[in-house]
Amino acid sequence: MRHIRPAWPWLLAGVGALITAVLCGAAVGAAGIPPWAAALDLLSRLPLGIESPLTPRQSAVLTELRLPRVLVGAAVGGLLALAGAGYQGVFRNPLADPYLLGAASGAGVGATLVILHAPGLSLGPLRLIPLAAFVGALLGVVGAYVLGSLAGRGGTAALVLSGVAVSSFLSAVQSLLQMTRTEDLRRVYSWIMGGLGRGGWEDLRLIAPYALVATVVLLCCAPLLDLLALGDDKAASLGLNPALVRLLVISAASLATAAAVSVSGLIGFVGIVVPHLVRRLVGSGHHALLPMSLLVGAAFLVLADIVARTLLAPAELPLGVVTAFIGAPFFVMVLRATRDRVA
């Protein structure tokens, strides 16, 4: 019988890491605000009788500029890591990732279409950018999965190569779209590189309903993914419909990816780095892996954004560049470990 590690100590540690990262992210900037002062200022807004140590100007900088950016970064990182853990569970493939499976590229094409041709369009209370990104992400993943299946029983290699092929094709489509609207090239290019420079309260309101639905569905699917890990035949004998579970998880993970991409642009490797690190801590049980990936992914991207803001200050690195520097070597290690296990 497989030993199941207790999840609650790690979940508490994940919550603590996220709170620490958010306070550090809110404190770092030109107007120096210590993390403890940022924490007291935020607590002063609650009916606890605590006074803020910040001046009105510092408090405005904290709540109107830094805090929304940090929270957008936490949401994006958490969603990408959660989507990566979901993809890896449903495909039973350690290399499955929103970026490698074509989900991020597909979401990028969908969002770019709206940014270039209908930036203010909405369907009732819903903005069109996340919806278009969701459709693109879903098409990208389905395309990679179908192409990998047509390639035969190639396993990990077939899926990764199919994802690379689909991502390359979608990137070419995106480049073509950009060339049709050269006057918007700079705006789209900065979005493709990924970053949180535009992050604000409006972005949080934009992705909140999509992020909430995707997160709830994926977390509720944790026990189903554990059953799916036993194999389709065994899962079916226990009353599970593997095809339905795959459809549900892939749709929710694609929605999470689309919500993240729609406000941050293309940020790679979060969905593969974080779940692998978390799996080493809490094991492969999805009851702990999914919520911990959400928490650690949020903290990871907030800290990566601090690096992007400060490494070449006052200039700012694209956040996608920072995650690529971290994720590319990590991906090579995971690929090598996967090859060794197969061999």
What are the structure tokens assigned to 303, written together? 């800290």
CA-closest candidate to residue 96, choices 77, 109, 113, 83: 83
The answer to whether residues 67 and 26 touch, using CB atoms and an 8 Å cutoff, is: yes
* CB-based contact 325:272 (threshold 8 Å): no
Q: Where are the domains of the chain?
A: 54-342
Cis peptide before 275 (omega within 30 of 0): no
Q: Classify domain 54-342 by CATH number.
A: 1.10.3470.10
Residues 157, 159: Cα–Cα separation, whole Å:
6
Count of Cβ atoms closer than 10 Å to residue 333 Cβ: 10
> What tokens does 58 get?
């510092």
Cα separation of 92 and 70, whole Å?
32
Q: How far apart are CA 46 and CA 23, in angstroms?
A: 17
For the chain, the farthest-separated pair of C-alpha atoms sits apart, in whole angstroms, at 65
Write down the pLDDT at residue 1.
Answer: 41
What's the CA gap between 258 and 129, in Å, rounded?
Answer: 9
- The CA–CA distances, whole Å, from 133 to 224, 284, 325 equal 26, 30, 25
Residue (of 301, 212, 205, 302) closest to 255 by Cα position: 212
The span from the CA of 56 to the CA of 64, in Å, is 12
- Sequence-ordered strand ranges (E) for the chain: 122-123, 126-127
Q: Which residues contact 10 (CB under 8 A, 6 or more apart)?
A: 281, 282, 288, 292
Separation between Cα atoms, residue 269 and residue 318, nearest integer Å: 14
Determine the length of the chain: 343
Q: Could you tell me the mean pLDDT of each successive run of 10 residues in the chain, 343 residues long?
A: 63 92 83 80 80 83 86 94 92 79 82 75 61 82 82 64 86 80 65 68 85 95 91 86 88 87 82 90 90 95 91 80 84 70 48
What pTM does this model have? 0.84
In sequence order, which residues have a C-beta less than 8 Å from that of residue 94 and are 6 or more positions away? 88, 156, 276, 334, 338
Alpha-carbon span 257 to 296, nearest angstrom? 16
State the Cα–Cα distance between residues 112 and 121, nearest whole angstrom: 13
Taking the C-alpha atoms of residue 140 and residue 121, their distance in angstroms, rounded to an integer, is 23
Compute the C-alpha angle 237/239/243, nearest 5°. Answer: 95
Distance of alpha carbon 258 from alpha carbon 111, whole angstroms: 8
Separation between Cα atoms, residue 284 and residue 271, nearest integer Å:
15
d(CA 79, CA 290) in angstroms, rounded, equals 10
Predicted confidence at residue 342, as pLDDT, reads: 45
